Amino acid sequence: MLLAGGCGFHLRGDVRYPPAMAVTHIASADSYTPFHRQLRAALRDGGVRVTADATAAGAVVRILQDETGQRVVSVSARNTPTEYQVYYVVRYALEIGGRTALPAQTLSLTRDYSYDERQVLGKAAESDDLRDALAADLVGLVTRRLSSVE
């Protein structure tokens, strides 16, 4: 166990951000999206103070695109959808001290689910759950990338 800790290994949930990110502002067009809410919570859990005042922040995470939706993947012989694909696209950048520390990057994730027109309410809830799960996966990718900035 000591060897694993001495080599720089950390558990997946153990994210350490650069000191310049101690006070961070998240700049986005909509602060109520699943991605934005989960990113704010993940940064706070990692010891970062998230502020609404960009001038008081040492770092600014810019969310340039935060888009989600669904597409029809397959249809039945009667031309009714039988399978959908939920997608979530995020484009973000990081500025530390007014300079670009991480240029704009785009991440995209998708998940498919079957659709049954007899279970409309259940499938709508499944779509929302998938959207939240995709946002959580994207937050994990983004926070690991933010923690690697020097």
* Residue range 88-117, pLDDT digits in tens: 999 999 999 889 999 999 999 999 988 777
DSSP line for 63-92: EEEEEEEEEEEEE-TTS-EEEEEEEEEEEE
Is there a contact between 110 and 68 (Cβ–Cβ < 8 Å)?
A: no
- Residue 137 φ/ψ, nearest 5 degrees: -65, -40
The predicted model scores a pTM of 0.84
Q: Which domain holds residue 123?
A: 2-147
Q: How far apart are CA 112 and CA 80, in angstroms?
A: 16
Q: Please name every residue paired with 72 in a beta bridge, in sequence order, or none if there are none.
A: 84
Q: How many domains does the chain have?
A: 1
* Residue range 26-41, pLDDT digits in tens: 999 999 999 999 999 9
Is there a contact between 50 and 40 (Cβ–Cβ < 8 Å)?
A: yes
Radius of gyration of the chain (CA): 19
Using pLDDT thresholds of 50, 70 and 90, give the confidence band for residue 14: low
> Which CATH number goes with the domain that contains 45?
3.30.160.150
What does the pLDDT average to over 48-66?
Answer: 94
Q: How far apart are CA 42 and CA 50, in angstroms?
A: 10
